[in-house]
Structure 1
Amino acid sequence: MPGKKYEEKHLVTYYEGDQTGTMTISMMINVMILISDNQSQALGVGPEVVDQTGLGWVITQYTMNITRLPRVGEEVLVGTQAVNNNDYFCQRDFWIKDQTGKVIVKTTSIFVLMDRTTRRMHKLLPELIESYESDKVKRIIRLPKLSDVEGTENSQDYAVRYFDIDTNHHVNNAKYFEWVFNTVDEEVLNNYFPTMVNIRYHVEIQPHQMVHSAVSFDQKSLKSSHKISVGNTLCCEANVEWSHR
């Protein structure tokens, strides 16, 4: 059986929303990670315990399926579950429910442990994962591959700032969502919302680097592909599917 479930109520605040009055993707990710940290604390394997090992949790990929975005002022129920793991990878699911109990956002993520010194993936430590009671499997789920979309192109450059860096000493994973969606035309953002997001992280982005974020948007299919790079190095890529608000 998959591991323990954990849920908390969350009131969507004004600073978590955008101009349309709905919660941004980056803020949803921040809240989901907060919920997973709270579960870890409750199980006695919170960030301070992980820090003592010299390791840190890192996300390699998210897939999100969205029926609708939470609204500013709405109280939702945010949940998470460590589903399974093999020797190196963990599947953790997240969900957001409205007040009727309907799931409006469902997310699957893949986590790994990273050595803070070598910045390389580390084998999972039993003492850090056993309390979640997730299934031990030979192979975890393979999330969808990323594909290119042909269409209208746009790009922006961003300097990595001090407050973009988290306690793992690399760019916070939610920041990438801001870089992804800020390249999309305002007309699209005002009239459409993402119903599917598939984002994969390839290379860590470090402090003081210059980031190039590019998008290709197909108006007919309402799909977009995104690439975030530093110089000639592809650091992150994403696919997004859109629907009318």
Structure 2
Amino acid sequence: MKNKPEIFSHTFNLPYSALTIGGRVKMDWLLNVFQDVASTQCHYQKVSGFDMAEKGLKWVVAQYRIQIHKSIDWMTPVMVQTWRAPWKNLYEVRQFRVLENIDLEHTTRDPKPLVTASSIWILIKATNNRPVRLMPNMPPSLMTCPRQEPVELIKPPAGLTRIDHECSFPVHFLDLDLNEHVNNRVYVRWAQESLPGTLNFEYTPVTCDIIYQKEALPQDTVQSRVSMNFKNDLLFTDHVIARQSSAENLASLMFTWKRTDTKSLFHTKK
């Protein structure tokens, strides 16, 4: 796919900090990258979080749907692309794609995506956290971009059918972002850390659906609960992140994991 003006691209080599045991890409690192490239494009379009803060508004993410199609090795040249479109003046649909970085201007083949993701972003009023319409608050040029089909809204499960494991996490200062609540990537970490025993060593996530429902705030403690279902070499997990003090659900997450036999080059047997 040739680059288009409405597509923002950023290129780099996959860094060491992106990898966990066995050279697997960290899911929460992907969310950081997505947020960074989206924020950079928004900066150039004059609709960044800083621009909206001057109007008393905030961008909040409502959901993510992420699929890892292929593992990425350290120092692989990659290109992260993002593009956005309004949907019926209600919210922004933003797409992401991670590609191996080849010369798109001098090749006839389209590189296959390594990672794809879609997300929904809502503009809210800072004083009461209520959604506002896009049109009065966005440049007219951003409301007339090519029509985009809506992302399928992810429906949160009615509740976990059972709880196979749970643990609690305090909100730390470094979990917070400029909106003074827990950053969206942290919920993924809380969910992954709730897997019992050695499952995080034995399985790697390949899909992740996230629905953000309420904000975790400074001094909160959250309860992370997981229900697990094994099928052949796959593991399916449903997660609920809840505020411990009030039992409010803050986020729901659904993962698909595949068994991995990747062994770390740095592991030394004792």
C-alpha distance in structure 1 between counterparts of 2:141 and 2:67, whole Å: 28
C-alpha distance in structure 2 between counterparts of 1:158 and 1:22, whole Å: 24
C-alpha distance in structure 2 between counterparts of 1:160 and 1:110, whole Å: 24
Give the structure 2 partner of residue 242 of structure 1.
Answer: 257
Which 5+ residue runs of structure 1 have no aligned equivalent? none
CA pair 170-77 structure 1, distance change in 2 beyond 3 A: same
Q: Which structure has greater strand proportion? A: 1
Matches within 5 A, 1:60-75: 60-75=62-77
Matches within 5 A, 1:1-245: 4-99=6-101, 101-128=111-138, 130-132=140-142, 133-135=144-146, 140-147=150-157, 153-185=164-196, 187-220=198-231, 222-231=235-244, 232-245=247-260
Q: What is the CA-CA distance between 1:170 and the residue it aligns to?
A: 1.0
3-state SS, counterpart of residue 176 of structure 1: helix
CA pair 182-130 structure 1, distance change in 2 beyond 3 A: farther
Give aligned pairs, total: 243
TM-score (norm 1): 0.89
8 Å Cα contact 1:152/1:216 also seen in 2: yes
Q: What is the CA-CA distance between 1:164 and the residue it aligns to?
A: 1.0
Q: What is the CA-CA distance between 1:75 and the residue it aligns to?
A: 2.2
C-alpha distance in structure 1 between counterparts of 2:243 and 2:71, whole Å: 31
C-alpha distance in structure 1 between counterparts of 2:207 and 2:170, whole Å: 27
Aligned CA RMSD, in angstroms, stands at 2.4
Q: What is the CA-CA distance between 1:136 and the residue it aligns to?
A: 5.9
8 Å Cα contact 1:86/1:140 also seen in 2: no
CA pair 188-71 structure 1, distance change in 2 beyond 3 A: farther
CA pair 237-189 structure 1, distance change in 2 beyond 3 A: same
TM-score (norm 2): 0.81
CA pair 152-201 structure 1, distance change in 2 beyond 3 A: closer
CA pair 115-184 structure 1, distance change in 2 beyond 3 A: same
8 Å Cα contact 1:113/1:122 also seen in 2: yes
C-alpha distance in structure 1 between counterparts of 2:125 and 2:5, whole Å: 25
Which AA in structure 2 matches 1:38? T
Q: What is the CA-CA distance between 1:6 and the residue it aligns to?
A: 1.0
3-state SS, counterpart of residue 190 of structure 2: helix
CA pair 28-46 structure 1, distance change in 2 beyond 3 A: same
CA pair 67-121 structure 1, distance change in 2 beyond 3 A: same
CA pair 10-239 structure 1, distance change in 2 beyond 3 A: same
Which 5+ residue runs of structure 2 have no aligned equivalent? 103-110, 261-270
Which segment drifts farther, 223-232 or 75-84? Answer: 75-84
C-alpha distance in structure 2 between counterparts of 1:211 and 1:3, whole Å: 42
User: For the pair shown, which has the larger CA radius of gyration, 1 or 2?
Assistant: 2
8 Å Cα contact 2:118/2:151 also seen in 1: no
8 Å Cα contact 2:223/2:241 also seen in 1: yes
CA pair 190-134 structure 1, distance change in 2 beyond 3 A: farther
8 Å Cα contact 1:180/1:213 also seen in 2: yes
Which AA in structure 2 matches 1:128? M
